[in-house]
Amino acid sequence: MDFTQEQIERYSRQIILPEIGGRGQEQLARAKAIIIGTGGLGSPCAYYLAAAGVGTLGLVDSDVVDLSNLQRQILHNTERLGRPKTDSARETLVALNPEVKIVTHQLRVGADNVMELIRDYDVVVDAVDNFAARFLVNDACVMAGKPLVEAGVLRWDGMVMTILPREGPCYRCVFPSPPPPGSVPTCQEAGVIGVVPGVMGLLQATEVIKLILGKGSLLSGRLLLFDALNSSFREVKVKRNQMCAVCGDHPSITTLQEYDLACELRGPDGSSGEAGAGGLRSESGGEN
C-alpha cells in the first residue's frame, strides 16, 4: 500500500525502526485486534494500538462510564459519565487517529456470542474484570486457534501472558478453573492503584504489535508478574499442560462452558455447581 505524506509523518518514529519499516507499517494497517473490556487494561492497550496504526480495533463492553472508573480508565472522562464505554472509547480513539476503523460491540461477552465476536480478528486482548469472562475468552480462543494476550491486576500487582493455542500454555494450564465464590477479592473490594493496569495494558499492546509483526520474543510460556510497590518484575516459566481440560492432548472441555459472576458453572439446564480453585492467585483476578 502507498502511504500518504501525512501517514508517513504520523508513523515516522516507528517506521524508522528496523523491525518495522514500511512493510511492518502495512502489516499493522491490515491487522485486526479485538479488545474485550475498555476499562483499566483495555484503555491504554486500545489507545496505543490506535496510535500505532493497527487498522481495525474491535471494542467489547456492556458497561457505562462511572466516576470511579476515571482514576485509571484513560479512554473516558468526566463529561461522558453515564455513556456507554464503547461509545466513549470510540470517540477518544477516533480523535487520536481517524484512520483506524473502530468497531464497537456494546454487549456482555458470553458463550452465545464470543466465537462470533472473535471470528474476524487476528488477535484477541483479554481486558475483562471477572473470572467468568476470563475463562470463557481463554477457552474460545483455544478452540478458535486465536492468539490471546491476557492480563490481570489487583491492588499493586499485575500479570500478563500471551497464549498461542497449541503452541504454548493457555490460561487453564496455569489456573485450571475459576476460584470458589468469595475466595479472591475483586478490585472493587480490594482496590487497585491506577498505574498498574496502565503498565499491564501497555505490555498487552506491546505483545499485540509483536504478534502482528512477527518480531521479538512473546510472553508465551512466560507469566510476567509486576509488583508496583517494589518496582520489580518477576518471570515465571510455565509449560503447556498435556492434561489441560481445554488445550491438552485429550481435552475434556470441547464446548464452551459459561460461569456466572460468582464463578459457578452453569449447566445446560441452568443448574449451577461450584468450580474448583485450581491454585489461582489474587493478581490474576482482572480489572475492567
Strands 101-105 and 222-227: unpaired
pTM of the model: 0.90
Provide the β-strand partners of residue 155: 192
Domains of the chain in start order, with CATH, are 31-284 (3.40.50.720)
What pLDDT is attached to residue 1?
78
Q: Which residues touch 286 (CB under 8 Å, ≥6 apart)?
A: 41, 128, 129, 130, 131, 134, 151, 152, 153, 154, 187
pLDDT value, residue 271: 33
Q: What is the pLDDT along the chain (288 residues), one digit of tens a residue?
A: 789 999 999 999 999 999 999 999 999 999 999 999 999 999 999 999 999 999 999 999 999 999 999 999 999 999 999 999 999 999 999 999 999 999 999 999 999 999 999 999 999 999 998 889 999 999 999 999 999 999 999 999 999 999 999 899 999 999 998 877 666 666 677 789 999 999 999 999 999 999 999 999 999 999 999 999 999 999 999 999 999 999 999 999 999 988 775 544 443 333 333 232 233 333 334 455
Sorted by sequence, the CB contacts under 8 Å of residue 283 that are 6+ apart come out as: 152, 153, 154, 157, 158, 159, 225
d(CA 208, CA 26): 15
- AA letter at 126: D
Return the pLDDT at 229: 97
The predicted pLDDT at position 258 comes to 83
Per-residue b/e over 66-85, b at no fewer than 16 CB within 10 Å?
A: eeebeebbbbbeeebeeebb
Decide: 254 and 153 in contact? Cβ < 8 Å.
no
Q: Would you state the pLDDT for residue 144?
A: 97
Segment holding 266, helix H or strand E = strand 264-266
Q: Residue 29: its pLDDT value, please?
A: 98
